[in-house]
Amino acid sequence: MQVKDVMTADPACCTPETPLTEVARMMVDNDCGEIPVCEGNGSKRPIGVVTDRDIVVRTIAENINPLELTAADCMSTPVVTVLADMPAEECWRIMEEKLIRRVPVVNDKNEISGIVALADVARHAKDSVAGELVKEVSEPTKASSAAGR
């Protein structure tokens, strides 16, 4: 099984200049917790991600008005990506190693083609693999060091 077999294809993306309110609206409209940030000018090359947690931790918790910010103001960088044609198990290993709950998927041109979330792992991996991944990325001391991802 490859990453392309388990990913959600064509995720919503934004640019660094996208207002944070618009990024949050994309999350609501697409029922997701992460929006990849792409270079801009029609490029689908990822340069970061904005998670729902990024918005809370980097703005609201710091008493910064998110209504005045853009994706660039609170995105997580550098972006961790996986390749669509790599084995799914390798993707899950990377998620565990990097302590991330979601990872953008890129094609051979480094353009966004999908996203893999813990929910995708839960649907496609053996129960023991899914359970271990959830446990590792949810560990309080580890997860807090991985910022908003």
**Domain residue ranges of the chain, discontinuous segments joined by +:** 3-145
Checking if the pLDDT of 144 tops 50, the result is no
C-alpha–C-alpha distance, residues 44 and 18, integer Å: 14
Q: Closest Cα partner for 53 from 24, 91, 25, 18?
A: 24
| Backbone φ and ψ of 118, nearest 5° | -55, -35
Q: Please report the pLDDT score of residue 50 as a whole number.
A: 98
CA distance 140 to 56: 17
Q: Give the CATH superfamily of 3-145.
A: CBS-domain (3.10.580.10)
CB 83 within 8 A of CB 112: no
Handedness of CA 100, 83, 81, 7 (dihedral sign): negative
Q: State pLDDT tens for residues 76-94.
A: 999 999 999 999 999 999 9
Quote the percentage of the chain above a pLDDT of 90: 74
